[in-house]
Structure 1
Amino acid sequence: MYRFLFSSKWLGYLLLAAVFATACVFLGRWQMDRRAETLAEINRVVSNYSATPIPFAQARDQFIQLDPAKEWTQVELKGSYDAAGQRIVRNRPLNGQPGYEVVVPFRLANGETVVIDRGWLPIGNRNPGSPDSVPAPPTGDVTAVVRLKHGEPELQRGAPEGQLASIDLPTYSAQLGYPVLTGAYGQLASETPAPADAPVSFPKPSTDEGTHLSYSLQWFAFGVLMFVGFGYAARQQARNAAIDAEDQDESELDGTVHSAVPAARRRPAPPRKRKKATAEEEEDALLDAQGY
């Protein structure tokens, strides 16, 4: 009944279903991996974002090489800003609005320097390609609370004087001409004394895991439905074949009956049995034979 499944046509259909299902499984697992990354980021935010700041002495190793689990950890820094080394970072959207970020070297009391991202600025209306104004950092001794962030990769594009294409710490250090701890930078949470004018503070990262789980389940369901559809199509093909075979048997039976009836009708009738001749008829036949 299902021998047609071994035909090249149906084997091709089965292969197509298997390829499609494999692609669905791959996409589903990819969504699950993205969900796992998102959940890990959410856990870091929940654990570290609002935790009590730790002193630089405890966090120094993180500024050399940041442990991913320590991202968003609050660190208290004491020192002064190097306003001459201030840069703005291009193409930094915030809440759907284009703009810039302001990074400034921060020299610690022990002589080491870290980079602080002080906040966001909108694009300028007076000077294309730069903000209208960049608030200066506080002068003198400053106590800053920052959240640890990974440095960014170098982008293969240039930037105008006084700007950076990304927060690529080694490139920034080379521009400054003095060493900077390049394992991480700090995203500003607060600074004391507070300046009269400052960039826009960064919002708290979202803790919404998004739609990765629902998308992954949908992809897995699509893979299963492909085989369900293949099975349904095979069942319909088998049913149609059975119906066609039944119709053919009935046609052959009807043809046999119809062909048999005319043959019976055409059969010659059997010869009638002759009656026995009388004496007079025999005498007349004898005379006829003698020529009388």
Structure 2
Amino acid sequence: MSSRTRVKAYLAVIALFVVVGTCLRLSWWQLERAEEKRVWLESQQQKAELPPANLASLLANDSPQHRRARVFGVMDNAHSILLDNRTLNRIAGYHLLTPMQTDEGQWVLINRGWLPRGNRRDILPDIPVIEGRVQVEGTVYQSPGEAFVLKDEQLPDNQWPLRVQKVDFHAISEKLGVELAPFEIRVTPELSLGGLDPLPRHWQDITVMAPEQHKAYALQWLGLAIAALVIFLFAGTRAQKRRLTGKPQ
């Protein structure tokens, strides 16, 4: 075997180890993600089966995400928030969040559902007013991360309803002059508030990939590793036969 052929063989072996090693690592990582997702989904299911909690219990919980909630109080109709860029059936619109003061004097944002934007962006939609003391049932929602915006937005001074690109609980709390809970409560679909027709509430959380999908990806990466190994062995065997028969490579 010439030195040039030997170098090419070494490089091929190194490339094989890199490719196979990377594929196996990615396959293992997908299996780890599948297990993490399984545990997380079981945890969320257990939370969903718990009885509804009041706001004080939710605030004392380190991980209230997706907990069922039941609160009583009065809506602050004068200071609603419109969460921009929320589509329903490809129609642009907003999520309508209204501050609520509970019977215990605590404050929380109630996500009442979806409102269409209308033909003109500079004209905000009318906000349905909820009068009197109401009971709200729903689930706790905390954003999994910072929402992407083109730049940090400054909340306008005298604009209500307030149109925002993301829900900054701290900034909105300062603007309202109250201490908001660090999460929203998404109202149960079809639940009427104050006798009003329910708004559409097809909540669109970030889609959670099922554990089975992670396992399928793991199998694909494993298949790529096996394919790379088979191709390497086939190419090596063919090259060896050519050397033995004296055929040019």
TM-score, normalized by length of structure 1? 0.68
Q: Relative to 1, partners in 2 of residues 1:207 and 1:18: Cα closer, same or farther, differing over 3 Å?
A: closer
Is the contact between residue 112 and residue 186 of structure 2 (CA under 8 Å) also seen in structure 1? yes
Is the contact between residue 89 and residue 101 of structure 1 (CA under 8 Å) also seen in structure 2? yes
Query: What CA distance in whole angstroms lies between the structure 2 residues aligned with 1:201 and 1:99?
Result: 12
Q: Give 2:175's aligned amino acid.
A: Q
Classify the secondary structure of the residue corresponding to 2:110.
strand
Q: Relative to 1, partners in 2 of residues 1:36 and 1:235: Cα closer, same or farther, differing over 3 Å?
A: same
1:191-223 deviations in Å (ceiling 9; x for gaps): 565432442123597787263221221012112
Is the contact between residue 44 and residue 71 of structure 1 (CA under 8 Å) also seen in structure 2? no
Query: What CA distance in whole angstroms lies between the structure 2 residues aligned with 1:12 and 1:174?
Result: 62
Q: Relative to 1, partners in 2 of residues 1:45 and 1:130: Cα closer, same or farther, differing over 3 Å?
A: farther
Q: Is 1:82 aligned with 2:76? A: yes
Is the contact between residue 103 and residue 115 of structure 1 (CA under 8 Å) also seen in structure 2? yes
Is the contact between residue 75 and residue 145 of structure 1 (CA under 8 Å) also seen in structure 2? yes
Q: Is 1:71 aligned with 2:73? A: no
1:237 Cα deviation after fit: 0.7
Equivalent of residue 146 in structure 1, options 138, 159, 165 = 138
1:241 Cα deviation after fit: 1.0
Query: What CA distance in whole angstroms lies between the structure 2 residues aligned with 1:189 and 1:149?
Result: 12
Query: What CA distance in whole angstroms lies between the structure 1 residues aligned with 2:33 and 2:59?
Result: 30
Query: What CA distance in whole angstroms lies between the structure 2 residues aligned with 1:132 and 1:214?
Result: 45
1:135 Cα deviation after fit: 2.5
Instruction: Output aligned runs, 1:222-233, within 5 Å.
Output: 222-233=224-235
Q: Give 2:217's aligned amino acid.
A: Y
Instruction: Output aligned runs, 1:187-266, within 5 Å.
Output: 187-189=186-188, 193-203=193-203, 209=210, 211-244=213-246
Q: Give 2:81's aligned amino acid.
A: R
Q: Relative to 1, partners in 2 of residues 1:204 and 1:153: Cα closer, same or farther, differing over 3 Å?
A: closer
Is the contact between residue 71 and residue 136 of structure 2 (CA under 8 Å) also seen in structure 1? yes
Query: What CA distance in whole angstroms lies between the structure 2 residues aligned with 1:131 and 1:27?
Result: 47
Bigger RCO (CA 8 Å, 6+ sep): 2
TM-score, normalized by length of structure 2? 0.79
Q: Give 2:78's aligned amino acid.
A: A
Q: Is 1:133 aligned with 2:136? A: no
Q: Is 1:102 aligned with 2:104? A: no
Q: Which residue of 1 aligns with 2:108?
A: 114
User: Between Structure 1 and Structure 2, whose CA radius of gyration is higher?
Assistant: 1
Q: Which runs of 5+ in 1 are unaligned?
A: 246-292
Q: Give 2:118's aligned amino acid.
A: G
Q: Give 1:17's aligned amino acid.
A: L
Q: Give 1:83's aligned amino acid.
A: N
Q: Is 1:176 aligned with 2:168? A: no
Is the contact between residue 100 and residue 131 of structure 1 (CA under 8 Å) also seen in structure 2? no
Q: Relative to 1, partners in 2 of residues 1:27 and 1:94: Cα closer, same or farther, differing over 3 Å?
A: farther
Classify the secondary structure of the residue corresponding to 2:202.
coil
Q: Which runs of 5+ in 2 are unaligned?
A: none
Aligned-residue Cα RMSD (Å) equals 3.1
Is the contact between residue 131 and residue 194 of structure 2 (CA under 8 Å) also seen in structure 1? no
Is the contact between residue 45 and residue 207 of structure 1 (CA under 8 Å) also seen in structure 2? no
1:79-109 deviations in Å (ceiling 9; x for gaps): 1111122010011234554321111111011
Classify the secondary structure of the residue corresponding to 1:8.
helix
Query: What CA distance in whole angstroms lies between the structure 1 residues aligned with 2:132 and 2:96?
Result: 19
Query: What CA distance in whole angstroms lies between the structure 2 residues aligned with 1:90 and 1:196?
Result: 23
Q: Relative to 1, partners in 2 of residues 1:29 and 1:134: Cα closer, same or farther, differing over 3 Å?
A: farther
Percent of aligned pairs with the same amino acid: 20
Is the contact between residue 146 and residue 189 of structure 1 (CA under 8 Å) also seen in structure 2? yes
1:171 Cα deviation after fit: 1.9
Q: Give 1:39's aligned amino acid.
A: R
Is the contact between residue 99 and residue 122 of structure 1 (CA under 8 Å) also seen in structure 2? yes
Q: Give 1:213's aligned amino acid.
A: K
Aligned length: 236
Is the contact between residue 90 and residue 164 of structure 1 (CA under 8 Å) also seen in structure 2? yes
